[in-house]
Amino acid sequence: MGKKDPEQVFKKGKQLTCPICSNNIFNSRKTQLNTRGATLLGVDWANKNAQNYICSNCGYIFWFLEQ
């Protein structure tokens, strides 16, 4: 599976813009939001995920909770 090219991102009809460098092109990834309890019990897979958008210019990361 290849890596996706950076792209523009829209959330709720608004274009995402980096608050640090004003860039509007982002890479994306999903990140698992681990909790101590789930890790202790070995059920990390049950934790929620977040969608991250990483500025392709400066690396600033936006986090959006998946719903």
What pLDDT does 51 receive? 92
- Whether residue 40 is contained in a domain is answered as yes
Model confidence, pTM: 0.75
- Whether residue 3 is contained in a domain is answered as no
For residues 14-53, b (16+ Cβ closer than 10 Å) or e, as one string? eebebeeeeebebbeeeeeeeeeeeeeeeeeeeeeebeeb
Would you state the structure tokens that stand for residue 59, as one six-digit string? 């690396």
CATH number at residue 47: 2.20.25
What pLDDT does 18 receive? 98
- Whether residue 23 is contained in a domain is answered as yes
- The domain tally of the chain equals 1
What pLDDT does 38 receive? 53
Instruction: State in Å, rounded, how far the first CA of the chain is from the last one.
Output: 25
- Whether residue 5 is contained in a domain is answered as no
User: pLDDT averaged over consecutive 10-residue blocks of the chain (67 residues)?
Assistant: 81 96 96 64 67 96 85
